[in-house]
Amino acid sequence: MRGLLWRLAGSLPALAAVIVVTFVLTRVLPGDTATYFAGPTASAESIAQIRAELGLDRPLPEQFWNYLRALVQGDLGMSLTTGQPVLTDILQRLPASAELTLAGLLLAVSIAIPLGILAAVKQGSLADHACRVVVTAGVSLPVFFTGLLLVYVFYFVLGWAPAPLGRLDAFASAPPTVTGFYLVDAALIGDWETWRGALAQIVLPAATLGLFALAPIARITRASMLAVLGAEFIRTARASGLASSTIILTYALRNALLPVVTTLGMVFSFLLGANVLVEKVFAWPGIGSYAVEALIASDGAPVQGFVLTMAILYVLLNLAIDMVNRALDPRARRA
Amino acid sequence: MDRRDFLKAVPAAALGMPLAAPAVKQAAAQRAPTRSETLLLVQEYGPNSMDMQGIGASQPVNGVAQNCYDRLVRFKRMPVDGVTTGFDITQLEPELAESWQEASDGTSVTFKLRADARFHSGRPVSARDVKWSLDRAVSIGGFATTQMRAGSLEKPEQFVAVDDKTFRVDFLRRDKLTMPNLAVTIPFVFDSEKAIANAGGDVWAKDYLKNNICGGGAYKVDAWRPGTETVYSRFDDWKSGPLPQLRRVIARDIASPSTRRALIERGDADISYQIPPKDFADLVAAGKLKVSAMPVPNAIWYLALNSALPPFNNVKLRQAVAWAMPYEQILQGALFGRGVPMWGGPATPARLSWPVPFPYAANMERARALMAESGAAPFSTTLIYDAGGATITEPMAVLIKEALAPLGITVELNKIPGANFRGELNKKTAPMAINRFGGWLDWPDYFFFWNYHGNNSIFNIPSYQNPVMDRMIDAARFAPDAATYATNVRGFLELGMQDVPFIPIVQPFHDVAMQQNIGGYQFWPSREPDFRYLTKG
């Protein structure tokens, strides 16, 4: 427990640095927020008025101080693109991104890990080559392309998938918010119609993401399995006449999982903020497209809020991965 | 936790999740309107506020103002073709006001409000509400105040609540734009008592009105999820026009144009807004959908040449560029035919309106001759354009670069991110810029006042200065009679053609695609959809 707190305290300087850097970056970036939001038919006075209202006419240190004071009170500022407090926006959009990313990751893991194991165990076999092909395709096809392709085939041509209108069909209503994950919230109240609707909506975007996430996971599983399978304790186990399934699944896999879990964490946090294009194609109201829209409009507060949220998530995620690693590997607990 | 327990627990938890369903089913909700009573509209992005008068409101907020609030008057609706109904900007019809009368001395206009008009709250609309709302529009600053000023509506003292149902506007000066400016989306009427009660101390209830509809328009907003959707439902007690047919409208924000196209083509969306010209040209060719292609009144795509700085402060050089422009290629290659040509017109304006085709056309000999006359040596220059509209502006810029190369003008292209573009224009230092402009109030003098006048508004992107031009624009704006007006409009149009600080290219179309069973599409100056007249059969 004390170690945990220490680790959290250790990440504070990093967070402070993130706050300073994003503040400076959003101010240094070219682009004039006031001019943009004054609209196409603005006069010079109205631009000045907006600038004053946003506090952008004050000296930088004063702006920073105001930003910090608000931040301490949990106020991330207002988004000009949505007209809402940034915190509200992020709290609303983060679950959407997280649900999609988790679904994609789950899909990727369920294919990539068996594939990686198979490729490692039967090195040079057909399965190994298949693994290589899938992995190469996964990384080399850009997500917006796979996304559009899937929409074209499964929605436009075949009509199997529902309209890519976001998390739910336009005529369905969202389940009451408990976790923010529609699949979980709908299941909690036993609303299976909404649950099926949400599931149908998430399949294509999750498959798009999953295809992309497949590659690093399968690669690392294969490499890590190969390393473990060559280790002495496996040779001992084989010599002792243990069944090959026991050796692979019980002994080799558990030892090989450590780097896989670490990779999973990285892939998760990367996908969470970086699946902008998938969010765009499927009209998914996620956090990545939110940040990019804001950036295009040089709307500083959402960008700062987004970076800060992601930084905090990274810290927490790393912590979680460490804990999982400790659970998996007794050696990690002593270290 | 032991690691073995942990390993066992993870899959168990994952599997158990969908099964853990408490027996509390949500109370049977009210039956939602069926698909046939609901319109599904898809658009690129939605409103960032519910208050069009507020500072920083985005373009789609005009739609909110249009559908959820009433104005005193609206423009007279005029059919354009089988699909689209447009408007006559010179004629008004009643909305909240059932009648009005201009004073015989021409210094004011008095409106009689409808006796039966009510707000969503149920309270009858009174002249005090109208006064508060118009006072707000001229005082709040930003775009709303600028727009009000365009019609000489500048001070709260101009607005008088004579009695409960009588409202008067005193004119500051004789301005033909005053009355039409009362019909645009800005001067809409709030439920002032409710707004003040919720204002939390702010005179104009800015925060409350930004997030809440507080008026008496034909629709209410049931749900607004910024960046995702806006859900409207009909206000059944609306009296300012025939009761709309649609009970419910869902406007979804779909950022990807390919997805919007797929949705409308598959028939899942009823109406699609903001379709790129290429996709729209395809939809028209396929012929399966109803399409409305309305030339946007008062608007042009243009190339601006900076007339205040060398090298384009040379008139002959500007004319040479105007003769060298690849007009047809731009219309076909960048806009896929979605626009009205603004080149190849007669030497004097064909009609006294805006836009009007300029006498230039692609003619390399004349361009070369004028280039030689101008005495300009071959030079390099920069052309800026907005990355936000790059699907259109990028090919335009490339075509212009290619066309000017034979004249010895080397054009360097500078694509500027959306947020910076306006700032860059405001600096007024760019030698060449591609841009689009159109005023809501469709008069030629209105366009010229903003774009050509020497008071150098931010739209005068070429920084064009000419006292003769200013005199004619001012004379036309407040012309006492039709003859003076015509003389001056002809004068400034000819001077604009002669001096070409702006080279008009095309008048763009406002393209909307809808299913065959959708009717009653209404086009307004703000270009946003009006649900009140739409039908679904």
- Do the chains contact at B226 and A82, CB–CB below 8 Å? yes
Query: Which among A40, A46, A283 is the nearest to B141, CB-wise?
Result: A46
- Do the chains contact at A189 and B56, CB–CB below 8 Å? no
Domains, chain B, in order of start with CATH, read 35-253+515-536 (3.40.190.10), 300-509 (3.10.105.10)
Interface of A with B in 144-163 (CB under 8 A): 148, 151-152, 155-156, 159, 163
What average pLDDT score do residues B459-484 get? Answer: 92
Mutate to test the interface with A, among B422, B449, B450 (most CBs of A within 10 A): B422
- Alpha-carbon gap: B58 to the closest alpha carbon of chain A (Å): 7
Predicted confidence at residue A131, as pLDDT, reads 83
What average pLDDT score do residues B256-268 get? Answer: 89
Burial A243-280 (b: 16+ CB within 10 A, else e): eeeebbeebbbebbbbbbbbbbbbbbbebbbbbbbbbb
Q: What element of type H or E holds B252?
A: strand B248-253
For B31-59, write each residue's pLDDT tens digit. Answer: 567 778 899 999 988 898 999 998 878 88
Residue scoring higher pLDDT (B373 or A251): B373
Predicted confidence at residue B19, as pLDDT, reads 37
The answer to whether residue B305 scores a pLDDT higher than 80 is: yes
Predicted confidence at residue A274, as pLDDT, reads 66
Predicted confidence at residue A276, as pLDDT, reads 81
Predicted confidence at residue A40, as pLDDT, reads 61
What average pLDDT score do residues B12-37 get? Answer: 48
- Alpha-carbon gap: B267 to the closest alpha carbon of chain A (Å): 10
Average pLDDT score, chain B: 89
For B162-206, write each residue's pLDDT tens digit. Answer: 999 999 999 998 889 999 999 999 999 999 999 999 998 899 999
* pLDDT confidence tier of residue B355, bands split at 50, 70 and 90: very high
* pLDDT confidence tier of residue A334, bands split at 50, 70 and 90: low
First-to-last alpha carbon distance for chain B, in angstroms, is 63
Predicted confidence at residue B25, as pLDDT, reads 37
Q: Which range is least confidently modeled, A76-90, B67-81, B132-146, B496-510?
A: A76-90
For B49-99, write each residue's pLDDT tens digit. Answer: 999 998 878 889 999 999 999 999 999 999 999 899 999 999 999 999 999
Interface of A with B in 13-72 (CB under 8 A): 30-33, 35-47, 49-50, 53
Query: Which among A152, A166, A188 is the nearest to B21, CB-wise?
Result: A188
| A265 interface with B at CB cutoff 8 Å | no
For A159-211, write each residue's pLDDT tens digit. Answer: 888 888 888 887 777 888 888 888 888 888 888 888 888 999 999 999 998 88
The answer to whether residue B518 scores a pLDDT higher than 90 is: yes
Domains, chain A, in order of start with CATH, read 86-334 (1.10.3720.10)
Task: Kindly state the percentage of chain A with pLDDT values over 90.
Answer: 6
Interface of A with B in 302-331 (CB under 8 A): 327-330
Interatomic CA distance for residues A233 and A229, integer angstroms: 9
| A85 interface with B at CB cutoff 8 Å | no
- Alpha-carbon gap: A20 to the closest alpha carbon of chain B (Å): 23
- Alpha-carbon gap: B346 to the closest alpha carbon of chain A (Å): 31
